[in-house]
Amino acid sequence: MENNTAPWSQLEAAAAAALSKAYAPYSKFRVGAAALTTEGRLISGCNIENAAYGVTLCAECAMVGELFAGGGGKLQYFLCLGQLEDGAVALITPCGRCRQLLFEHRAPGMEVQTDTGVLSMEQLLPYAFGPNDISL
């Protein structure tokens, strides 16, 4: 499924820039996320911790906030970087909550760069629950 024209280096740079602004005084685990929308808009977000851990914002949540603050759209390409206290930065996969968030706002065929290669959202979150599962 890997697309050689996908903007992975651009996304990695945007995620690294976002990661540098993360607020993670408790876990010391800084995270930056970046995506490209189907309209070609580059968006990013960083994690923002809180002393009341339950109100911590994941980088993906901040990024989806930017998606909607900028007019909405759908996510086409996504990657996430994490940095530990020793300074090492690596590709990481989103937590379950954030996978659900990404699933909700994905474009058909969305690609996610992981440390094991490019995956579809359906591979990253099989048997997902989404808008089509709700009768309104």
What residues are labeled active site? Answer: 60
pLDDT for the residue 112: 97
Say how far apart CA 99 and CA 78 lie, in whole Å: 11
Q: Which two tokens stand for residue 30?
A: 């800084």
pLDDT for the residue 4: 55
This prediction's pTM: 0.92
Q: Which domains does the chain have, with CATH numbers?
A: 8-130 (3.40.140.10)
Residue 40 makes CB contacts below 8 A (sequence gap 6+) with none
Q: Dihedral of CA 5/44/31/92: which sign? A: negative
Q: Dihedral of CA 58/59/65/68: which sign? A: negative
pLDDT for the residue 51: 96
pLDDT for the residue 136: 65
Average pLDDT per block of 10 residues along the chain, 136 residues long: 73 98 95 97 97 94 97 97 91 95 96 96 92 80
pLDDT for the residue 1: 45
Tell me, rounded to whole angstroms, the distance of Cα 24 from its chain centroid. 17
pLDDT for the residue 115: 93
pLDDT for the residue 88: 92
For the chain, give the longest Cα–Cα distance.
Answer: 48
Q: Which two tokens stand for residue 131?
A: 């808008």
Say how far apart CA 62 and CA 46 lie, in whole Å: 6
